[in-house]
Amino acid sequence: MTSGPYEVLLNTLGPASHRESTLPELDGKPDPWESSMQATCECLSWRGALDNLERRHAEDELGETIYQDFPVRTRSVVVTAHALMDLGVISPEELHARMEAVRERFHRQ
């Protein structure tokens, strides 16, 4: 597996996570975070920050290589974060800090 700036993403894969292998596992209504993430990607594309077609190509390529062990429904978010780091929009350190802040909020509830 790759390391370096993408380690912050690779470390999000929990030990209980598994890649879906059957249609029932792959089928289902998107969670609210997925719809929000897709809307964010549409806005980023509309503003010229992250082209949707390029992101989808990256999702196909990286989803079958670096992020192949991630569940299919989570790949779009890790590939989007990967692309934003490549573009210099967010650094691995900033992403890590934001992820920790979100985890903290969830643990307070």
Please, are residues 5 and 78 in contact by the beta-carbon 8 Å criterion? Answer: no
Which pTM value belongs to this model?
0.77
Contact 96, 17 (CB under 8 A): no
What range defines the domain where residue 76 resides? Answer: 29-108
- Count structural domains, the chain: 1
Q: Is residue 7 part of a domain?
A: no
CA angle 9, 11, 12 (to 5 degrees): 70
Asked if the structure places residue 62 within a domain, the reply is yes
d(CA 36, CA 14): 22
- Residue 19 domain-assigned (yes or no): no
Q: What is the pLDDT along the chain (109 residues), one digit of tens a residue?
A: 446 888 888 888 777 776 666 666 667 777 888 888 889 889 999 988 899 999 999 999 998 899 988 888 788 889 999 999 999 989 999 999 999 998 898 887 6
Domain with residue 82: its CATH number is 1.10.472.20
Distance CA 37, CA 11 (A): 20
